[in-house]
Structure 1
Amino acid sequence: MPNSTENRLEEGRPEPRARAVIVLAAGASRRFGPEDKLLAHLGDSPLANAAFTLAAGTEAAQRLAIVASDEVADLAARAGLATVRLAAGGPQSASLKAGLHRLAPGIGEVLILLADMPWVARGDIDALLARGAPACARIGPARLPPALLPARWVPEILRVEADQGARSWLSRIPTDHCLALPENHLRDIDRPEDMPR
């Protein structure tokens, strides 16, 4: 007879102990200039701290940060995330796959966060998790992270050779699992002018 965890996995809503959170934080920041944008100060702390803190506060069995620099790795570790090192400048798909390769046994769903989206709120994540995997955020028709992917998709994602980040899988998500969030919560930082004045 299946136990309660198995029942919830079948329903697409794993218990927190069957969830992983992955923060993608290994981008090259080319459009930001010579400074690492993830270390640029947003208020009183480095930009990446917002996503790391959000991940650390999300109920999960496993919390990972995919990083390319010692400084960003230190920030993630101080927030309580395990770090996976990756060479800087690779495609987002490399970061995603690096995290998926490190998933612990028994994970049923994976929450993907981007370290350059500092305004995603706790309530946004709670609403996304309530939808159950698969789910993602949306602005109008555009689908984007944060995204909640079912673990059953992982083998296929790992097999794809082309540069396909999390966005390439969002088109599979049913419309009623695409959560409309405030546009200002989903802003990302690409260039210095994207930082608040």
Structure 2
Amino acid sequence: MADKLTLYTNPMSRGRIARWMLEETGVDYETKILKFGEGSQSADFLAINPMGKVPAITHGDKVVTECAAICAYLAETFPDAGLAPTADERADYYRWLFFAAGPVEAAVVNRSLGVEVPAEKTGMVGYGNFERTRNVLISAIADRPFVCGDRFTAADVYVGSQIGWGLQFGSIPPSPELTAYSERVYSREAFKRASALDDAAIAAAS
């Protein structure tokens, strides 16, 4: 019997990324919706993720946290979905997946919080400054449909989510390249299914 796969999430969180990735794989999974505070800080969930943050997945007796790691794990664990990189795609796949998880996430969050890194201290932060990070992000998809080239991979789930949220909430200023890329990845049927499930969960909780 296949190991049970469970998603711990809140539909108003980064858990939407993990849900999208799970829908892309097409595998069966159980969903446990956790409320912020009482749910994510419960003893049961802290035993799964001591950080008390969603999303997390359990697969049998294994636990995976952090959205980029969840995307990579699911792509490799379910290769029939075709979301893991080929040998030729591997360098771009890991480069842009972790660029989005590291410099992009930090740059966007700090900008949203009003954190200004002094010019003489930019070497101390992984993203340097927001403008450079945004420009490099644009370069990743400026001359190709997806981050690895012509083919959608798990890296696009994560990169696409970062870009899509940034454009939606105004934390990343738009550009023609970013807008076109976001429209491409958000047109996928798995994204639509995942969004419908999470939107329904929000409605049910309200």
TM-score relative to the length of structure 1: 0.29
The structure with the greater share of residues assigned to strand is 1
